[in-house]
Amino acid sequence: MMSKLQSSANQVTVRKNSGADIGTRTRLNLIEGLNTTLMIADDPADNEVDITITSAGGGGGADWLNQFFPPVDTNAYKGTYATVQMLDAMTTDVWQTFMIPSDVVTITSASILVIPNGTGDIYWECSTNAGKVCSSEDYQTHTDSIAANTDAVTQNEIECINILAALTNSLGGDLVGLKFTRLGAHASDTIGGTVHYLGVLIEGTT
**Among the listed residues 48, 100, 90, the one whose alpha carbon sits nearest the alpha carbon of residue 69:** 100
Q: What is the pLDDT of residue 160?
A: 98
Q: What is the pLDDT of residue 30?
A: 77
Q: Write the pLDDT tens digit of every residue in 106-120.
A: 899 999 999 999 999
Is the model's pTM score more than 0.75? no
Query: Does the 64-205 domain belong in CATH 2.60.120?
Result: yes
What residues form DSSP beta bridges with 73? Answer: none
CB 100 within 8 A of CB 164: no
pLDDT lower than 50: segments of the chain: 1-5, 59-60
Q: Label each residue of the chain as H, E or C.
A: CCCCCCCHHHCEEEECCCCCEEEEECCCCCCCCCCEEEEEEEEHHHCEEEEEEEECCCCCCCCEEEEEECCCCCCEEECCEEEEEECCCCEEEEEEEEECCCCCCEEEEEEEEEEECCCEEEEEEEEEEEEECCCCCCCCCEEEEEEEEEEEECCCCCEEEECHHHHCCCCCCEEEEEEEEEECCCCCCCCCCCEEEEEEEEEEEC
Radius of gyration of the chain (CA): 27
**166 phi and psi, to 5 degrees?**
-90, 0
Domain map of the chain by residue range? 8-55, 64-205
Amino acid identity, position 26: T
**100 phi and psi, to 5 degrees?**
-75, 120
As a whole number of angstroms, the distance between CA 63 and CA 205 comes to 6
CB 71 within 8 A of CB 114: no
Report CA torsion sign: 132, 138, 141, 146.
positive
